[in-house]
Amino acid sequence: MTRYLVTSALPYANGPIHFGHVAGAYLPADVYVRTLRMLGEDVLYVCGTDEHGVAITINAEKAGQEYGEYVKHWHADIKQTFDELGIEFDVFSGTSQCAQHVETSQEFFTQLDANGFLEKRTTEQLFCPKDEMFLADRYVVGTCYSCGKPGARGDECPSCGTWIDPLQLTEPACKLCGTTPERKATTHWYLDLPKLRDAKIGDWIQNHEWKPNVAAFIQNLLDDVPQRAITRDMRWGVPVPSEVSGDEQDKVLYVWFDAPIGYVSFTKELMAARGTPDAWKDWWQSPDTRLVHFIGKDNIPFHCLVFPSMLYGVQQDYVMPWQVPANEFYNLAGGKFSTSEGRTLDLDTFFETYDREVTRFYILSTLPETADAEFNLDNLVTLNNAALAGNLGNLITRVLKFIAKNNDNQVPQLTEAHREQYDTMMLTDCGEIGDPAEWVTQYRFRKAAETLIANASVANVFMQRTEPWALRKTDPEAAASALNTLCEYIHWLARWMVPFLPNKAQALWEMLGRPGKVADQPWPGVPQRATWRSFEGGEALGEPAALFPRMDAPVAADA
RNA sequence: GGCGAGGUAGCUCAGUUGGUUAGAGCACAGGCUUCAUAAGCCUGGGGUCGCGGGUUCAAGUCCCGCCCUCGCUACCA
């Protein structure tokens, strides 16, 4: 049986997560997973924080915290944001916390080495004699040899954008203590991407079907793949396995090497917790698995080239990615979200004013699927008032309050004589609009959200045409039948809403007097004339309430 | 510097492999309705598709040049 193994890019445990991340990799994945589950598919959704790397050690030291303490803080912070937005993983671990991660990463490294896909090389690097450590990447600062300006980092000059070779920096200095570093030889391992490309990955990439924006991105990727160093001289990280390292001391796997392996080790952790420690193989080493990576576009090279190369290179029948529905970037009205530049929203304050699920729906409606898009508060308010409050929400209250007032809050009776006419009226338009899930499975989430609203609109038209408020005076049976039909349709909408608005869907479910969790219902698909009705008439309804209060226009931003 | 994306109605955006009068939502105007969250329904106005060339019977859609905006550049999706 087909299995869907869904991952979202591991967020870096170095700061709060923002809507840009949410829109890029997490919210679409969550909607996808919820939809597949209701469709009856076997799905596993894996994520966790990426907790190694130089940026974390620098910032933890600045904050005066232990590395482990530092990443746990951000792990919890990030997890809370996901909880607030209703993003639910099967496992949300972390690369420094997961018990299986070190062993799994080391196995990858050892196997790649044994299979001839690693190369060991010795080069000169900068070493700080005072701190007694090699100055990897951003641990070294200096004057740019290209533009002559100070402030260049060991990897890149922020002034002119030149990709820096730290050995050539003018007046290099240790970022921690300012000491002038010296050159010292060090040995590292390199992932032989050219060899992996020629062995398999090149053909695989060429022949794989990618989402259009992904295909455009990776087109030139293969021509000039370099070998990449996958080890670093530091202590925070997964140690290079001793059987390979030999005499080399204090070397860890480079963070981008061990991070994606987290997808595998977190799966192992989950299965171990479930008491079936070998079950991870059913997901990672089975031809029945469809591996789907949700990422932002900056992660395309990793997930389309590097990680597949690693999965192939260990030669243990790992699955290759099935789809990589990468999104473009989601900006904050006018510029990008950036924690470091203060272009960000304080989510705690934000959620005091703006409903979480409305926010979730707005982000889904504006996802950067094909091009960069932006988050705009005015548009969020407009979407809420027009589509959610005016269309979907008002449909629900106008029908249910009418029934509460005039039919003792019970589902009105359908008279057989009216069934065909009302089925036709309701289902013809709805059939043309179609099933939101069909768009979800094509990763067209904006279109899916739009389809949900368009379907609600069908019922507003139905009510306008049948006019039950007038009809009940002239033909009560017809009026009851029309209202019965509207109840059926809202019953349908409640299930369609689940992936997009999970809590609102549940609230609606209860207003309809339905027991249990709506998320446990099977996906209803497009209503079919012969089978779509399920109310007998006479069922007690719950208390009708407005699901989507109107919002006031936001106060003009002081930006 | 390298790479990439985008410039389509007032606003936010759709526009498959080039093919009849360029679409949606919001906003705006007029009409209808009163069950409902000043909500709903119907109709309408509004665009020489960034600029200049080219290919073609036919281009928003392909090619060349230019202008503008933005992003990435491997440790912020």
A299 C-beta less than 7 Å away from strand B: yes
Of all nucleotides in the shown strands, which has a C1' nearest the CA of A257? B75
Q: What is the mean pLDDT of residues A458-483?
A: 95
β pairing state of A335-336 and A3-8: unpaired
In terms of average pLDDT, the best of A251-255, A324-328, A467-471 is A467-471
d(CA A517, CA A38): 12
CA A382 to C1' B26, in angstroms, rounded, equals 7
Q: What is the mean pLDDT of residues A455-465?
A: 94
The tokens of A72 are what? 């746990």
CB A466 within 8 A of CB A425: yes
A398 C-beta less than 7 Å away from strand B: yes
DSSP A337-379: -BTTTTB---HHHHHHHS-HHHHHHHHHHT--SSS-EEE-HHH
Return the pLDDT at A404. Answer: 96
CATH of domain A376-520: 1.10.730.10
Q: Is the per-residue pLDDT at A337 higher than 70? A: no
A197 C-beta less than 7 Å away from strand B: no
Q: Report, in ranges, which bases of strand B sit under 7 Å from a protein C-beta.
A: 1-6, 11-15, 25-27, 33-42, 70-77
- Burial group, residue A471, by CB count within 10 angstroms (0-12, 13-18, 19+): middle
pLDDT tens for each residue of A28-73: 999 999 999 999 999 999 999 999 988 888 888 888 899 999 999 9
- Among the residue ranges A126-135, A195-204, A311-320, A378-387, the one predicted with the least confidence is A126-135
Which residues numbered 98-157 in chain A sit less than 7 A from strand B, measured from CB? 136-138, 155-156
Q: What is the mean pLDDT of residues A194-218?
A: 79
List helix spans (H) across A93-144: 101-114
Domain boundaries, chain A: 3-115+193-218+255-327, 376-520
A460 vs A130: which has the higher pLDDT:
A460
Return the pLDDT at A193. Answer: 87
Predicted confidence band of residue A161 (pLDDT cuts 50, 70, 90): low
CA A469 to C1' B35, in angstroms, rounded, equals 6
CB A190 within 8 A of CB A254: no
A25 C-beta less than 7 Å away from strand B: yes
Predicted confidence band of residue A205 (pLDDT cuts 50, 70, 90): confident
CA A204 to C1' B76, in angstroms, rounded, equals 29
pLDDT tens for each residue of A220-233: 667 667 788 888 88
Q: Which CATH architecture has domain A3-115+193-218+255-327?
A: 3-Layer(aba) Sandwich (3.40)
Return the pLDDT at A216. Answer: 65
A447 vs A218: which has the higher pLDDT:
A447
Return the pLDDT at A156. Answer: 63
A49 beta partners: A94
- A357-378 as b/e: b if 16+ CB within 10 A: bbbbbbbbbbbbbeeebbbbbe
Phi-psi region of A63 (alpha: psi -120 to 50; beta: other; left: phi over 0): alpha
Predicted confidence band of residue A207 (pLDDT cuts 50, 70, 90): confident
CB neighbours of A246 closer than 8 A, spacing ≥ 6? none
A21 C-beta less than 7 Å away from strand B: yes
d(CA A319, CA A288): 9
Cα–Cα distances (Å) from A433 to A349, A414, A426, A448, A534, in that order, read 38, 25, 12, 10, 22
Which residues numbered 37-76 in chain A sit less than 7 A from strand B, measured from CB? 53-56
CA A304 to C1' B55, in angstroms, rounded, equals 36
CB A24 within 8 A of CB A12: no
A183 vs A267: which has the higher pLDDT:
A267
Q: What is the mean pLDDT of residues A442-463?
A: 92
d(CA A266, CA A97): 10
CA A458 to C1' B45, in angstroms, rounded, equals 26
Which residues numbered 471-530 in chain A sit less than 7 A from strand B, measured from CB? none
ipTM over 0.95: no
Q: What is the mean pLDDT of residues A85-102?
A: 95
CB A541 within 8 A of CB A411: yes
Return the pLDDT at A243. Answer: 83
- Among the residue ranges A340-354, A374-388, A532-546, the one predicted with the least confidence is A340-354
pLDDT tens for each residue of A107-116: 999 999 999 9
In terms of average pLDDT, the best of A86-95, A159-168, A174-183 is A86-95
Of all nucleotides in the shown strands, which has a C1' nearest the CA of A546? B37
Tokens 């952790």 correspond to A269
In terms of average pLDDT, the best of A67-81, A134-148, A333-347 is A67-81
Dihedral angle sign, alpha carbons of residues A481, A487, A492, A497: positive
A280 C-beta less than 7 Å away from strand B: no
A343 beta partners: A338
pLDDT tens for each residue of A511-556: 999 999 999 999 999 999 999 999 999 999 999 999 999 998 765 4
pTM above 0.90, yes or no: yes
Of all nucleotides in the shown strands, which has a C1' nearest the CA of A390? B39
User: How high is the mean pLDDT of chain A?
Assistant: 87
Q: Is the per-residue pLDDT at A367 higher than 60? A: yes
Return the pLDDT at A557. Answer: 41
CA A304 to C1' B65, in angstroms, rounded, equals 34
CA A297 to C1' B67, in angstroms, rounded, equals 27
Phi-psi region of A151 (alpha: psi -120 to 50; beta: other; left: phi over 0): left
In terms of average pLDDT, the best of A248-262, A342-356, A514-528 is A514-528
Among protein residues, the one whose C-alpha sits closest to the C1' atom of B69 is A334
CB A323 within 8 A of CB A292: yes
pLDDT tens for each residue of A321-336: 998 888 877 877 555 5
Return the pLDDT at A558. Answer: 35
Q: Percent of chain A having pLDDT more than 70?
A: 91
Among protein residues, the one whose C-alpha sits closest to the C1' atom of B71 is A329
Q: Is the per-residue pLDDT at A143 higher than 80? A: no
Predicted confidence band of residue A278 (pLDDT cuts 50, 70, 90): very high
Return the pLDDT at A556. Answer: 46
Which residues numbered 234-263 in chain A sit less than 7 A from strand B, measured from CB? 254-256
CA A378 to C1' B28, in angstroms, rounded, equals 18
Cα–Cα distances (Å) from A184 to A126, A128, A129, in that order, read 6, 9, 10
Cα–Cα distances (Å) from A217 to A213, A255, A300, A549, in that order, read 6, 23, 8, 42
A290 vs A366: which has the higher pLDDT:
A290
CA A423 to C1' B35, in angstroms, rounded, equals 21
Q: Which of A451, A446, A447, A457 is nearest to A362 (CA)?
A: A446
CB A544 within 8 A of CB A396: yes
Cα–Cα distances (Å) from A481 to A183, A402, A456, A471, A536, in that order, read 85, 14, 19, 11, 11
Return the pLDDT at A440. Answer: 92
- Rounded to a whole number of angstroms, the CA Rg of chain A reads 28
Return the pLDDT at A255. Answer: 86
Return the pLDDT at A559. Answer: 31
Return the pLDDT at A224. Answer: 67
Which residues numbered 199-228 in chain A sit less than 7 A from strand B, measured from CB? 213, 216-217, 219-220, 225-226, 228
Tokens 């920096």 correspond to A169
d(CA A189, CA A435): 51
CA A517 to C1' B33, in angstroms, rounded, equals 37
Comparing A3-115+193-218+255-327 with A376-520, is the CATH topology the same? no
